[in-house]
């Protein structure tokens, strides 16, 4: 679970609580900048009903690079999540899906609609032959939650900066990277302006 440093601990509480309620008991947090604040807050996880350990990055290694610092061998699928998500989908069901598909990597996927707030022109050269007013495009986007088998780690270099899209692309050729459609509430908190929306989605926690 990659952690977002900031004052919005209730968001991370929600992630930990949801994982615990689904039966996950062993959680690893990758920490770097101001990581001591997160360690001080969550400690060993006993107050949250889970076991929490930490992977400490000397420098930010990206959304996948910290996985190369895990010491214990991987014997079963692991869940990797960004720490800045509001997610209502069942992670346990995603793991079951991953196993049933015999996938190397399963990527949580969410349909996102984007409306262009203008009339979009269709042209042949400079000749306009149509116009579509404020069209909406639907795209399947990476939701920031993954299930990985041990073989996915073979393409990771120790202590090297690696983001999840790079790790995914290294494994796509064998046809064992699959999408898990998520229809439930989802929000990515990549910007401070997203926090108020996240609070609303969480019911004002």
pLDDT band for 9, please (50, 70, 90 cuts). Answer: low
What is the reported pLDDT for 204? 44
pTM of the prediction? 0.82
Question: C-alpha 176: how far from its chain's center?
Answer: 19
pLDDT at 8 over 50: no
> Rounded mean pLDDT of 53-76?
90
What is the reported pLDDT for 200? 55
Q: With beta carbons less than 8 A apart as the criterion, state whether 205 and 10 touch.
A: yes
What DSSP string describes 10-31?
A: HHHHHHHHHHHHTT--EEEEEE
Here the tokens at position 151 are 């073989």
8 versus 61: the higher-pLDDT residue is: 61
> Rounded mean pLDDT of 148-172?
92
pLDDT at 133 over 60: yes
58 versus 98: the higher-pLDDT residue is: 98
What is the reported pLDDT for 191? 53
pLDDT at 196 over 70: no
Q: What is the tens place of the pLDDT at every residue in 67-118? A: 999 988 888 999 999 888 888 889 999 999 999 999 999 999 999 999 999 9
In 57-100 the beta strands, taken as DSSP E runs, fall at: 78-81, 85-87
Calpha distance 22→131 (Å, rounded): 49
pLDDT at 13 over 90: no
Calpha distance 79→116 (Å, rounded): 35
> Rounded mean pLDDT of 146-153?
94
Q: With beta carbons less than 8 A apart as the criterion, state whether 25 and 51 touch.
A: yes
């Amino acid at each position: 679970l990659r952690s977002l440093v900031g004052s919005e601990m209730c968001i991370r509480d929600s992630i930990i609580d949801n994982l615990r309620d689904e039966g996950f008991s062993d959680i690893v947090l990758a920490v770097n900048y101001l990581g001591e604040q997160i360690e001080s807050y969550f400690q060993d996880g006993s107050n949250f009903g889970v076991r929490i350990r930490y992977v400490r990055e000397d420098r930010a290694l990206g959304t996948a690079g910290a996985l190369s610092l895990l010491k214990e061998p991987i014997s079963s699928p692991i869940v990797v999540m960004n720490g800045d998500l509001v997610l209502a989908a069942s992670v346990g069901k995603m793991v079951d899906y991953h196993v049933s598909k015999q996938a190397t990597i399963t990527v949580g996927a969410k349909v996102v609609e984007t409306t262009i707030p203008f009339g979009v022109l269709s042209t042949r050269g400079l000749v306009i032959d149509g116009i579509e007013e404020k069209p909406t495009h639907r795209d399947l986007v990476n939701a920031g939650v993954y299930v990985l088998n041990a073989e996915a780690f073979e393409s990771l270099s120790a202590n090297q900066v690696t983001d999840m899209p790079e790790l995914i692309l290294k494994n796509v050729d064998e046809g064992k990277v699959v999408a898990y459609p998520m229809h439930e509430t989802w929000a990515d908190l990549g910007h401070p302006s997203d926090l108020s929306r996240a609070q609303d989605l969480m019911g004002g926690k």
